[in-house]
């Protein structure tokens, strides 16, 4: 299988023990970032598999339609940069490991952000910096009269 690994800036993938699992495959590791569709299409024209490092390179329909031999895109984590509908239409499998077996800190971090926002009254403080609009209270508006 012809495998292209994109955006490995520091050329670290080859140093990982798991890289040996690709023995017997034709692997090309790209250390630079290219986003131009024509340049990517030329670079990846024979690739059957793309291995993406994070969300650096956008893989959209105009590129996918030019990669006739592409069968698989492997991506760790989220994949907002991949046109999944185009992949589905073209029969390209998108495989993404969603950190199985490792904790997700996002929910805990967001919970603490909400707790801190409530404790420090951040929404109210932000609102106090907004421009004030004059409000006219109708004379028949029920008022609370101190006793």
How far, in Å, CA of 127 to CA of 147, rounded?
A: 31
Can you name the residues that pair with 120 across neighbouring β-strands? none
* pLDDT the model gives residue 103: 61
DSSP state of 82: B
| CB of 64 closer than 8 Å to CB of 45 | no
Instruction: Give the pTM.
Output: 0.66
| First-last CA distance in the chain | 84
- The conformational region for residue 138 under phi > 0 = left, psi -120 to 50 = alpha, else beta, is beta
* pLDDT tens readout for residues 67-92: 999 999 998 777 889 999 999 999 99
């Amino acid at each position: 299988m012809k495998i292209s690994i994109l955006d490995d800036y520091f050329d670290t993938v080859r140093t990982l023990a798991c890289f040996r699992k690709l023995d017997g495959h034709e692997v090309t590791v790209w250390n630079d970032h290219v986003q131009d569709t024509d340049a990517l299409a030329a670079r990846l024209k024979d690739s059957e598999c793309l291995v993406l490092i994070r969300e650096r390179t956008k893989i959209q329909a105009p590129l996918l339609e030019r990669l006739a031999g592409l069968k698989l895109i492997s991506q760790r984590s989220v994949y907002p940069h991949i046109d999944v509908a185009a992949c589905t239409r073209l029969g390209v499998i998108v495989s993404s490991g969603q950190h199985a077996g490792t904790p997700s800190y996002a929910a805990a971090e967001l919970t603490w952000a909400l707790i801190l926002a409530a404790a420090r009254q951040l929404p109210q403080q932000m609102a106090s910096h907004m421009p004030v609009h004059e409000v006219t209270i109708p004379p028949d508006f029920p008022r609370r009269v101190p006793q």
